Amino acid sequence: MSPVPVSPRRVFGVEFSGARDAGRHIWICRAHPGNNGIRVESIDPLSELPGGVIEREVALQALVQKVTESSRSAWGLDFSFGLPKAVLDVLAPGVSDYTDQLRVMVSLGKAGTLLEQCTEVSPSVELRRRTDDETSTPFSPYNQRTYKQTFHGLTEVLRPLRSLPEVAVLPFDALPQTDRQSGDRLPFNRVASADMPHIYVMEVCPASVLAKLGYPTHGYRGGNEPEAKARQKMLRRLIRDGLVRPMTRAQKGRVIENKQGAALDAVFAAVGAWRGTRDYDHAALRADPMYGLEGFVYT
């Protein structure tokens, strides 16, 4: 992909959850991007942020609100932005664009129905998107471990965000053109406007970012000493490789002490969002028939 020169004011990485107490499990890394990596400003569970709550429905509403309040920003969200085309062809024959896909998801009514119907399409094998295979995501969008994230992320986060003119969900939404040559650029530098996108939301997967960077994808989640040391080692490597600028002792402690690895995953999601704004031709991704329907994982 051709590099795209951009300069967002902030990048955010979100380790997402579709659990009933989602506010406890959604972690948000807020960072300032630069030429020598991102400078982490905060890493927190959603429930500890102003306006943050625990119960899923209101927690996801709070997340949507935080996205809309962040002008000239890029957000990397860790859930599948779409279903495999082979599944869509059976669930909703004729669906050809992302807006219709979101309507189909809402019509299912609940996450359990999504799991049931997707499993019926292919009982013996979980189908994957092209981008899942290309970026080595660990699970299908409707795997037992991810189907709730997919359903609630699409219906309660992306659907309301796409109704706002200031938000563009990549790679599905057209980008504003600031001149004849800028169809593939994210114009963060212009004045934020309620009439045109200046907040860009993209799918990231921490495991895919790790794989892209050549980092180990396992061994850092857990409450024992080896896992804590693995988290510490990965932080050091991020800094050494110029992806994250040196962090405060409190920030490093928060990441290392989080046994689930969610805080570290949020940092990797922010790195993915930062790289996503720099390294891709977004217009070309949108024009691709598979990416334009199934979605694309930015790494």
Quick check: 159 and 106 in contact, CB under 8 A?
A: yes
Q: How confident is the model at residue 194 (pLDDT cuts 50, 70, 90)?
A: low
pLDDT at 161 over 50: yes
Rg (CA), the chain: 18
Instruction: Quote the pLDDT of residue 192.
Output: 60
pLDDT per residue as tens digits for the range 233-273 = 999 999 999 999 999 999 999 999 999 999 999 999 999 99
What is the three-class DSSP state of 41? strand
Instruction: Output helix, strand, coil percentages for the chain, rounded to the nearest 5.
Output: 45, 15, 45
| Of the candidates 10, 78, 77, the residue with the CA atom closest to the CA atom of residue 274 | 10
Mean pLDDT along residues 155-165 = 97
- What's the token pair of residue 65? 């609100």
pLDDT per residue as tens digits for the range 60-79 = 999 999 999 999 999 999 99
Mean pLDDT of the chain: 92
CA gap 30, 41 in Å, rounded = 6
pTM for this model (two decimals): 0.94
Residue with token string 């292919």: 122
Mean pLDDT along residues 25-47 = 96
Instruction: Quote the pLDDT of residue 8.
Output: 87
Instruction: Quote the pLDDT of residue 174.
Output: 86
pLDDT per residue as tens digits for the range 86-133 = 999 999 998 989 999 999 999 999 999 999 999 999 999 999 999 999
- Give the distance from CA 256 to its chain's centroid: 22
